[in-house]
Amino acid sequence: MEKREQLYEGKAKKVFATDDPELLIVSYKDDATAFNGLKKGTISGKGVINNRMSNLLMQMLEKSGIPTHFVEELSERETLVKKVSIVPLEVIIRNIAAGSFSKRYGRDEGEVFSAPTIEFSYKNDELGDPLLNEYHAIALGLATKEEIETIKRYAFETNRLLKAFWAECGITLVDFKLEFGKISDGSIVLADEISPDTCRLWDSKTGEKLDKDRFRRDLGGTEEAYAEVMKRLTEHI
Ligand code: ADP
Ligand code: UDP
C-alpha cells in the first residue's frame, strides 16, 4: 500500500490518499483543541494511544456486527481505513449528564439517565456545530431517513457494547461522539475515532476523569489519564 498526497489536516489527525481510491491513511497527532478550536495544546503521546485504542475498539465492534472503516494498523500513529463520504453529523450518545448537556438543561454532572439519549450536531466548524434534530438533518440533505435509522441503531448498539466493555475495565462510559460515513456501495459504516478525545470516561470507583476533560478544564495529569485508560483496555481486551 503506497501513501500518496495529504488530503486534509484536521485538529487531531491528518488524512492521506493511497494508490487505492477506496482506501485512506489516517495519521494521529498529539495536537489537542477544545471549545471549537479556541483552546489549543499538546497531549504528549496521545496520537499513539488514540490510534491503537480506536483500532482495538473498532475491531471489537466489527466482531459484534457493527461495520467500521478499520482495515489495518500500519504503525504507531497510522491506520489504513476505508474511504468514506462522511455524513456531516456528530452523533452523541449519553448515559450520564455531563458537559454541554448539563449546561444546556441545568442538570448536575453525574445524573444517571434511566435510558441512554442520542443527539445530533451539524458537523460544521464555521457554524459552531449547531445541535439539530433528525427532521433538520433530512431537510438540510445531510442524510436520508433510512440512513438516520441505521445510524441510530449502530450508535445505540455501540453504546451497549462499549459500556459493557469499559465496565469490565472499571471505567464508566458517560458519553461519546461518533461519526458515520458511506462507503462506495452506499452502505453506512462507523468512521473517525473512538478514544479519550471523543468519549467521557470516569473511573468507576473514584469518579476521576480519565479523558479530554482533563485538558479542557486544566485538571492536569492528562497524559497519565490517557495512559491509564490504555493500560486497562489492553488488560481486558
Ligand atoms: P476535524 O476535522 O474535526 O479537525 P480530525 O483532525 O480528527 O477532525 O480529522 C479527521 C477528519 O477525517 C475528520 O474530518 C473526519 O470526519 C474525517 N474522517 C474520519 N474517518 C474517515 C474516513 N474513513 N474517510 C474519510 N474521512 C474520514
Ligand atoms: N465530543 C467530541 N467532539 C465534539 C463535541 C463533543 O468528541 O466536537 C464528545 C465529547 O468528548 C463528549 C461528548 O462528545 O464525550 C459530548 O460532548 P458535549 O456535547 O458534552 O460537549 P463538550 O462539553 O465537550 O463541549
pLDDT digits (tens, 9 = 90+) for 104-159: 999 999 999 999 999 999 999 999 999 999 999 999 999 999 999 999 999 999 99
Q: Compute the distance from residue 108 Cα to the ligand 1 centre, in Å.
A: 32
Non-local (6+) Cβ contacts of 163 within 8 A are: 95, 173
Q: Which ligand places an atom closest to the C-alpha of 192?
A: 1
> How far is CA 167 from each of CA 115, 149, 192, 202, 237, rounded to the nearest angstrom?
17, 27, 23, 10, 12
Q: Which atom of ligand 2 is nearest to the CA of 199?
A: 15
Q: Tell the residue number behind the cell numbers 456545530, with chain if given.
A: 129
81 lines ligand 1 (CB under 6 A): yes
Q: Which of 38, 175, 209 to mutate to test the pocket of ligand 2 (most atoms within 8 A of CB)?
A: 175
Atom 8 of ligand 1 has which residue's CA nearest to it?
A: 10
Q: Compute the distance from residue 198 Cα to the ligand 2 centre, in Å.
A: 6
Its sign, for the CA torsion 218, 221, 226, 228, is: negative
> How far is CA 174 from each of CA 159, 179, 208, rounded to the nearest angstrom?
10, 17, 12
Closest Cα to residue 170, out of 95, 93, 236? 236
Q: What is the pLDDT of residue 21?
A: 98
39 beta partners: 34
Q: Which of 113, 198, 217 to mutate to test the pocket of ligand 2 (most atoms within 8 A of CB)?
A: 198
Q: Is the whole-model pTM more than 0.75?
A: yes
Alpha carbons 148 and 205: distance in angstroms, whole number: 36
- Stretches where the chain sits below pLDDT 50 are none
Atom 19 of ligand 2 has which residue's CA nearest to it?
A: 100
Q: Which atom of ligand 1 is nearest to the CA of 83?
A: 24
Four-CA torsion 196, 113, 61, 168, nearest 10 degrees? 70
213 lines ligand 2 (CB under 6 A): no
Q: What is the pLDDT of residue 1?
A: 83
Q: Which ligand places an atom closest to the C-alpha of 194?
A: 2
Q: Which ligand places an atom closest to the C-alpha of 34?
A: 2
Closest Cα to residue 157, out of 182, 200, 190? 190
Atom 5 of ligand 1 has which residue's CA nearest to it?
A: 10
> How far is CA 77 from each of CA 26, 70, 85, 155, rounded to the nearest angstrom?
8, 14, 22, 26
Question: Are 12 and 197 within 8 A, CB to CB?
Answer: yes
